[in-house]
């Protein structure tokens, strides 16, 4: 596994994965990223140029992907359009990146016999009732509810088909909601943190009863590395850290950790198709591959994330104003 191609490696989870690889292994790393608004070359600053390079381009470009895959031993596919609200406004980029891009990569790894790992989401399973004791498992039927989750579900199925039909050496992981450094300020947790830093009251969709299963990005990426090391080809692994928490409680915790009253937030209109609850059962990953999360306490992981945003204003400040303008135009 000497030469890694990481798609979407300038995005949130991808850049953290690249940093983990650079800091804990001797692998060489090529990042392929379209550098849309969600990709940021600054997220890769400070990495050794002798081992890490950034190529700007699309995963849906067949000539480019063939060239890069031919020079790689492993492809880890993070690149995706991933914002639910954006997918409701314009689904077309989600079709191109999540479906056409995955197809293009699969054809490249098929041609060159390259190991491939596909990063996906728990949103492909739809949602669970708030009072349902069940959690998602590897056998849960797909039931996506937005253009974003539908295109991710479709990309997962493409991977499975290419494994079965063409013998592609691939694994899949579906992960719960990530938080941590380098996450775009449009996302729920960094938006609230940066609002508090700026003296703006946080915004909560609807009543805030929706539950997410939170995992620190470092734990997600350590799980991906473990799957690459020991996962069975053709198999799917769910990644979760038992971090179920309602959105209302998350905002209250952010405010409390930042020295504000726990009720100093405003309610805004709920978004269309807002899934009620996600919950991951990661038993297979833990029992078969021996993975365990490092951040078992959400509050400590959140406190570390708050400190990162406080200390790295130069990273998130350039994108904050435009992000808030988009939310304001949508009444959120």
Residue by residue, pLDDT tens for the chain (332 residues) are 699 999 999 999 999 999 999 999 999 999 999 999 889 999 999 999 999 999 999 999 999 999 999 999 999 999 999 877 788 889 999 999 999 999 999 999 999 999 999 999 999 999 899 989 999 999 999 999 899 999 999 999 999 999 999 999 999 999 999 999 999 999 999 999 999 999 999 999 888 999 999 999 999 999 999 999 999 999 999 999 999 999 999 999 999 999 999 999 999 887 766 778 999 999 999 999 999 999 989 999 999 999 999 999 999 999 999 998 988 887 77
Residue 160 lies in a domain: yes
Residue 114 lies in a domain: yes
Residue 63 lies in a domain: yes
Number of domains comprising the chain: 1
Residue 252 lies in a domain: no
pLDDT for residue 86 = 83
Residue 238 lies in a domain: yes
The enclosing domain of 287 has a CATH number of 3.40.50.720
pTM above 0.85, yes or no: yes
Q: What range does the domain containing 177 cover?
A: 3-184+214-243+274-298
Catalytic residue from among 148, 182, 237, 309: 148
The yes-or-no answer on residue 123 being catalytic is: yes
The yes-or-no answer on residue 26 being catalytic is: no
pLDDT for residue 273 = 64
Catalytic residue from among 122, 156, 252, 324: 122
Residue 250 lies in a domain: no
**3-state SS record for the chain:** CCEEEEECCCCHHHHHHHHHHHHHCCCEEEEEECCCCCCCHHHHCCCCCCCEEEEECCCCCHHHHHHHHHCCCEEEECCCCCCHHHHHHCCHHHHHHHHHHHHHHHHHHHHHCCEEEEEEEHHHHCCCCCCCCCCECCCCCCCCCCHHHHHHHHHHHHHHHHHHHHCCCEEEEEECEEECCCCCCCCHHHHHHHHHHCCCCCEEECCCCCEEEEEEHHHHHHHHHHHHHHCCCCCEEEECCCCEEEHHHHHHHHHHHCCCCCCCCEEECCCCCCCCECCECCHHHHHHHCCCCCCCCHHHHHHHHHHHHHHCHHHHHHHHHHHHHHHHHCCC
pLDDT for residue 74 = 98
Catalytic residue from among 33, 81, 123, 275: 123
Residue 71 lies in a domain: yes
């Amino acid at each position: 596994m000497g030469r890694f191609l990481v798609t979407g490696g300038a995005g949130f989870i991808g850049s953290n994965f690249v940093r983990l690889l650079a800091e804990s292994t001797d692998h060489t790393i090529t990042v392929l990223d379209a550098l849309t608004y969600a990709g940021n070359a600054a997220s890769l600053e400070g990495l050794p140029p002798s081992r890490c390079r950034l190529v700007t381009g699309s995963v849906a470009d067949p000539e480019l992907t063939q060239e890069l895959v031919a020079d790689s031993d492993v492809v880890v596919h993070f690149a995706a359009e991933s914002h639910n609200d954006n997918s409701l406004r314009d689904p077309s980029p989600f079709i191109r990146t999540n479906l056409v891009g995955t197809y293009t990569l699969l054809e490249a790894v098929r041609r060159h016999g390259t190991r491939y790992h596909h990063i996906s989401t728990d949103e492909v399973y739809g949602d669970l009732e708030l009072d349902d004791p069940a959690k998602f498992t590897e056998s849960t039927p797909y039931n996506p509810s937005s253009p974003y989750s539908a295109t991710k579900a479709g990309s997962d199925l493409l991977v499975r088909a290419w494994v079965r039909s063409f013998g592609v050496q691939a694994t899949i992981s579906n992960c719960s909601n990530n938080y941590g450094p380098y996450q775009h300020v449009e996302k729920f947790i960094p938006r609230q943190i940066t609002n508090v830093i700026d003296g703006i009251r946080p915004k909560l969709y609807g009543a805030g009863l929706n539950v997410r299963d939170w995992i620190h990005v470092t734990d997600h990426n350590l799980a991906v590395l473990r799957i690459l090391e020991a996962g069975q080809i053709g198999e799917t692994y769910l990644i979760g850290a038992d971090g179920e928490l309602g959105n209302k409680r998350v905002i209250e915790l952010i405010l409390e950790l930042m020295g504000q009253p726990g009720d100093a937030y405003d309610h805004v209109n709920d978004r269309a198709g807002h899934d009620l609850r996600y919950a991951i059962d990661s038993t297979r990953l833990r029992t078969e591959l021996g993975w365990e999360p490092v951040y078992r306490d959400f509050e400590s992981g959140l406190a570390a994330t708050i400190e990162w945003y406080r200390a790295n204003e130069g990273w998130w400040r350039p994108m904050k104003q435009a992000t808030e303008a988009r939310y304001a135009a949508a009444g959120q």
